[in-house]
Amino acid sequence: MRLNKYISETGVCSRRQADQWIEQGRVTINGAAATLGTQVNEGDRVEVDGRAVQPQAASVYIALNKPVGITCTTERHVEGNIIDYIGHPQRIFPIGRLDKDSEGLILLTNNGDIVNELLRVENRHEKEYVVTVDHPITDEFLEGMARGVRILGVMTQPCRVRKIGQLSFAIILTQGLNRQIRRMCAAFDYQVRRLQRVRIVNIDLRGIKVGQWRELSMDELRGLLPQRTTW
């Protein structure tokens, strides 16, 4: 990589400014003064005014279809942690959580700037789940879930719920209390047998088999956080 490009990708200046710094003798490679057009090779140490610089890591955005048994933690000593499971070369972390005994869609990134934006309740980002319970679903249960349920000392926000089968339903939430769906169901004496997240805003599980992951496309990123124009 040309030296001026290498310096510009650290975010400290433009290529043109980097060329000026090189001409002014402010840039060294491995301790030696650099010249215009110099190439930077892997392992080279580039310094500007005696301070080392290196390109910023490209932003990573991943959608994983998490299997049951994987824990959404960055703590590597935890067996079955999501970071070791994915094995990505960049340092990434999950956006939010999905219980160890739940499965489905979870997003991961190395861009800490977007995490709070995605998790902030007032932004009302939709998350859709398909849930299987232990006995037949009634209209009263669906209506009660949709109105809101008192758990953890608070009333859950109204949500959309629809019956899929005798023992299964879909629910769309815009908040994320601890084990929220399981606690909501328990309030009506239902036990969750299977819980799968199938969508986060505009991202869904299509094309991602259980245990697999893929990077998000630019169109998906724009739909996920439409107010952002650059990544």
**Residues tagged active-site:** 99
User: In which residue are the tokens 């902030």 written?
Assistant: 120
Q: Name the DSSP letter for residue 113.
A: G
SS3 call for 196: strand
Q: In whole angstroms, how large is the CA radius of gyration of the chain?
A: 24
For 122, the token pair is 């007032």
Cα(145)–Cα(163) distance, integer angstroms: 12
Q: Name the DSSP letter for residue 216.
A: P
User: In which residue are the tokens 């939709």 written?
Assistant: 126
